[in-house]
């Protein structure tokens, strides 16, 4: 069983390495986080799929055609949120379900075979957020398994520690302390992997400057999320308190656009001072917002991120809430795609 598994993995890696030949031909140094960050470019999250309690629970089931659609639309990368804790043993050794692992393998293969950079993370581990110390051993064990499984994959695959630290893990000291424990676990088997580390307090743009990233580990990309102002981007969203009060709120004044540039400048300044490439991992507007305002906000965020040299992945691909593609009608929201990938590029 073990030897058969290793054989399958070897065949998969041969396929992946072959598909990544374009990087070598183009002279791309996949050990350089700045180069890899440029390869991430403009991407999209495939959300509400593998980070749901069970795939399909939130109306999105991964299809092979999605990867090709994303590639053909002109996107460079995928961020794949993954809810590992729903597929791992509750007690030591916290073994991850091999069938679920195989499903993630499949997604990675489909992305990389199309020359799409892919970031996998740990998403929606709510018990860990509520009790970081109680779940730390399990969190680190799950990551040790992930790191071991993908240690021979090229740096077209990135590991992101966890999505949006919150509850009892959202504070800067708690999050920085947890990162110090996470990094050695992953680095043991992946000394040259490009890792993605986000800021505290839901990956707040303002908390980037408080990140304690080891100065001697240069193979790191720093990420943040942006949904400001939240009253506009989440108007009508059922999980956001009082959001219905803001239905009909519009966006697009010069002052509002300058606010985005001001916020991004905070992150860019820290990145420049610390020599860290910056990755805008999530941004988007809930579908109930005014269509033109939604377009203006999305375009302004994407364009401003590009001006500052940030890579970006929009939230998200095909769920009703934020999606840019409708899998039922098999049509794109052309306005939003144009906002994310201007035709001039």
Q: How far apart are CA 314 and CA 300, in angstroms?
A: 13
Q: How far apart are CA 44 and CA 333, in angstroms?
A: 14
Residues labelled catalytic? 164, 282
Q: Could you tell me which residues are beta bridge partners of residue 88?
A: 96
DSSP secondary structure code for residue 95 in this structure: P
**Strand locations in 112-264, DSSP E?**
117-121, 157-160, 195-198, 220-226
| Phi, psi at 279, each rounded to 5° | -130, 115
Q: Could you tell me which residues are beta bridge partners of residue 198?
A: 223
Q: How far apart are CA 258 and CA 228, in angstroms?
A: 12
| Closest C-alpha among 210, 12, 198, 193 to residue 117 | 193
CB 47 within 8 A of CB 317: yes
List, in order, residues 6 or more apart from 312 with CB less than 8 Å away: 40, 41, 42, 43, 279, 280, 281, 283, 301, 302, 305, 306
Give the SS3 label for residue 313: strand
């Amino acid at each position: 069983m073990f030897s058969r598994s290793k054989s399958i993995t070897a065949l998969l890696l041969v396929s992946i390495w072959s598909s990544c030949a374009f990087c070598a031909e183009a002279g791309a140094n996949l050990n350089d986080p700045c180069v890899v960050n440029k390869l991430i470019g403009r991407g999209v999250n495939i959300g509400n799929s593998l980070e749901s309690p069970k795939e399909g629970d939130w109306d999105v089931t991964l299809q092979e055609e999605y990867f090709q659609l994303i590639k053909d639309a002109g996107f460079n990368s995928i961020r794949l949120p993954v809810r590992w804790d729903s597929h791992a043993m509750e007690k030591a050794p916290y073994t991850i379900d091999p069938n679920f692992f195989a499903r993630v393998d499949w997604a990675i293969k489909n992305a990389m075979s199309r020359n799409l950079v892919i970031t996998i993370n740990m998403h929606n581990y709510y018990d860990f957020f509520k009790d970081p110390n109680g779940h730390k051993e399990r969190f680190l064990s799950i990551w040790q398994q992930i790191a071991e499984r993908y240690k021979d994959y090229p740096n077209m695959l990135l590991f992101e520690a966890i999505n949006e630290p919150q509850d009892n893990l959202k504070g800067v000291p708690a999050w920085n302390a947890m990162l110090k424990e996470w990094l050695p676990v992953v680095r043991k088997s992946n000394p040259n992997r490009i890792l993605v580390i986000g800021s505290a307090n839901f990956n707040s743009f303002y908390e980037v400057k408080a990140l304690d990233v080891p100065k001697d580990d240069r193979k790191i990309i720093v990420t943040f999320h942006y949904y400001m102002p939240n009253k506009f981007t989440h108007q009508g969203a059922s999980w956001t308190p009082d959001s219905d009060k803001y239905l009909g709120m519009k966006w697009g004044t010069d002052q509002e656009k300058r606010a985005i540039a001001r916020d991004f400048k905070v992150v860019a300044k820290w990145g420049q001072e610390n020599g860290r490439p910056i990755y805008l991992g999530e941004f988007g507007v809930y579908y109930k917002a005014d269509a033109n305002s939604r377009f203006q906000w999305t375009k302004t965020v994407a364009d401003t991120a590009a001006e500052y040299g940030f890579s970006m992945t929009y939230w998200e691909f095909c769920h009703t809430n934020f999606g840019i593609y409708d899998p039922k009608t098999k049509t794109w929201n052309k306005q939003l795609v144009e906002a994310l990938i201007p035709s001039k590029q």
